[in-house]
Amino acid sequence: MSGLIIASHDLCRLHDPGPGHPENAHRLTAVRRGLTDAGLDEAITWIEAPEADRAAIDAVHHHYLFDRLEQLAGAGGGAIDPDTTVSADSGAAALRAAGAGLELIERLKRGEASAGWSVVRPPGHHATPDRQMGFCLFNNIAIAARSLASEGERVLIVDVDAHHGNGTQDAFYRDPNVMFVSFHQFPWYPFTGRPDETGESEGRGTTVNIALPAGATGDTYRHAFNTVVVPKVEAFAPTWVLVSAGFDGHRRDPLTDLGLTSVDYADLIDAVLDLVPAGRRLLFLEGGYDYQALAHTAGAVAARLLGESFRPEDPTSGGPGEEHVEMVRAIHERL
């Protein structure tokens, strides 16, 4: 099995959070440019993301979030918080963004590709079950994971965005059938994701927060993956892996202070996806706000998914954070 299916929709370009906002439609253009620069156009199948059913959204979010978004968009838009503003088209865009992952799941089940990628906006991993925040309206990856878990699948979510995926963590903090692993800068927005946040009740031990300092580079990520993530995942035995593919940990990104390159991201995501068989692998675009970095990383990641090589930068090493990784390992060994 080979191939990559990408789900997107033109409506996702129309979501407008306001002038000068870093989360804008140029990000989707950058992803497409990166795939073209990597020479992957003919190897990728693009599909239109359908609208998510309301029931799938309500399975993760309190119903009033859907209602409030519909009302705000219907009134021409408005602010939810200082970072999160909707426009008249935001509701339609959010429905397509939420539906992309669900459609990709069905296509992968039919054997149409080895992996799928939801390239949509608005992003989703900060949207909690009862709050829209941090540029996010519906939690696209959580909606897909909930659908899989409801069918008896064991779902691994790995969030490589530089910001902690607080919304995804909240959705599954007590769920023994969904493991959430987050690599993120800490302390940083949204100021959650401490290493001692490990899950509760039946979900104890299925939340893994690899909280890293500013300047962390690829060797620290690789060390964390090999020494913390792999043993946890082997014990959990997932049947699907979903990746919150936020690329704002790139050293060029204006919103964070991590030290990764596009090749660091490609190597890490490739290793994550190898934890489950082909045909059970999904990516979801989250952050990434430098257009060149976003293009390079999208191309490098997609090339690895397709068994090709596109390495516009070198991997990095020598940054801080090894002691932070050891702290996380010690916490989880005691559980």
State how far the Cα of 86 lies from the Cα of 280, in Å rounded to an integer: 33
Question: Cα dist. 10→52, 93, 120, 162 in Å?
Answer: 16, 8, 9, 26
Query: How many other C-beta atoms can be found within 10 angstroms of the C-beta atom of residue 191?
Result: 11
279: left (phi over 0), alpha (psi -120 to 50) or beta: left
Our answer to whether residue 126 is catalytic in this structure is yes
**Would you state the structure tokens that stand for residue 173, as one six-digit string?**
């903090």
Instruction: Give CA angle at 292 (286, 298), nearest 5°.
Output: 45
Using DSSP bridges, classify how beta strands 84-87 and 77-81 pair: parallel, antiparallel or unpaired. antiparallel
Of 9, 61, 125, 126, catalytic? 126
Q: Nearest-CA neighbor of 8 among 93, 105, 70? A: 93
**Would you state the structure tokens that stand for residue 188, as one six-digit string?**
């940083």
Helix (H) or strand (E) holding 45: strand 44-48
Chain mean position to CA 322? 24
Transcribe 189-208 into DSSP letters: TT----TT----GGGTT-EE
Q: Are 134 and 189 in contact (CB under 8 A)?
A: yes
Catalytic residues: 126
